[in-house]
Structure 1
């Protein structure tokens, strides 16, 4: 993207960036998902895969899921909804899921790169044809993501369509 790097990085002063520890107990393919299919609502997610595996992604404009095979000492970078919006649709948020069918414990430490609370994300460049999204206020969206991260929570109708996959 042809944007001023300093201006772009300023969105991350006092950011909401965070790392989460996730545990997936041993399972089998018939048990369903460890994490349901979704897209991340951040700008980028950094993942450090382990030998247990179980991370799957769905490439843009495809219906089949592919298991991520990452060599040792590599990092997987998922584009999130906010970077998709900033890029006007040129970078596409990565649909992904976790299925732990290994029979082993699985741990993941995703590092979520999230702008500052008061940032409102809107395209920084001319959008791809047909890409139309409303600006997104980071604070309220982040608050809603954290609030609904628990299965018993019911999401409020915020009007933000982030992290969901179309049927």
Structure 2
């Protein structure tokens, strides 16, 4: 979060309150091999963005993660690189930056023919922290695209939209 703050011309500790007493989730995900004749749209995990701040993803050696490229309007494979993590920006970062930084639309399609595992760490921040458009992300005369909310309010709304 310090690197994100610096990239937005903010002090490195700008997000310290967000990082204190934070909600985080660590998951172990298993994706069975998909059949060679999978139906169109059949996925190991459908297209989505992550709700929170940052996601750190450790993948095994089997490909499957795909990321949407807005410019070409197509999915590209994010091949696993041994010893590395994928870092996804979540919806709260888009909200803070007035969409200057966008959350990453992604999905999983396991066509490897083998079982696939990944370990995402979802960093969602302090539930009481206020998320509002950062002044450095507004052009003169521009209004925020999103109302100010707490981290908890943001998550409740995202769960309502997804599962409600």
Tell me, yes or no, whether TM beats 0.5: yes
* TM-score category (smaller protein): 0.7 to 0.9
Deviates more, 1:60-69 or 1:93-102: 60-69
The structure that has the greater radius of gyration is 2
Q: What does residue 138 of structure 2 align with? A: 127
Q: Distance in 1 between matches of 2:23 and 2:113?
A: 34
Residue of structure 2 equivalent to 1:104: 114
Over the aligned positions, Cα root-mean-square deviation in angstroms equals 2.4
Map 1:75-90 to 2 at 5 A.
75-90=85-100
Unaligned runs of 5+ in 2: 1-7
Residue 141 of structure 1 is aligned with which of 154, 157, 162? 154
SS at match of 2:66: strand
Rounded Cα–Cα distance in structure 1 between residues aligned with 2:129 and 2:70: 27
Displacement, 1:131?
6.3
Q: Cα gap change, 1:131/1:33 in structure 2, threshold over 3 Å: closer, same or farther? A: farther
Q: CA deviation at 1:33?
A: 0.8
Q: Which consecutive unaligned segments of at least 5 residues does structure 1 have?
A: 156-167
Secondary structure of residue in 2 paired with 1:6: coil
Aligned pairs, number:
151
- Judging by fraction of residues, say which structure has more strand: 2
Match of 1:2 among 9, 12, 24: 9
TM-fit CA distance, 1:146: 6.2
The CA distance in 2 between the partners of 1:79 and 1:105, in whole Å, is 26
Distance of aligned partners of 1:24 and 1:7 in 2 relative to their CA distance in 1, 3 Å threshold: same
Deviation string 1:132-157 (CA, Å, 9 cap, x unpaired) is 122232113334656888xxxx41xx
Q: CA 1:147–1:23 in structure 2 vs 1: closer, same or farther (change >3 Å)?
A: farther
Work out the CA distance in 2 between the residues paired with 1:148 and 1:130.
24
Deviation of 1:112 after TM superposition, in Å, equals 0.8
Instruction: Tell me the CA shift for residue 72 of structure 1.
Output: 1.1
In 2, are the aligned partners of 1:55 and 1:99 still within 8 Å (CA)?
yes
- How far apart in 2 are the matches of 1:5 and 1:99? 37
Query: Would you say 1:23 and 2:19 are equivalent positions?
Result: no
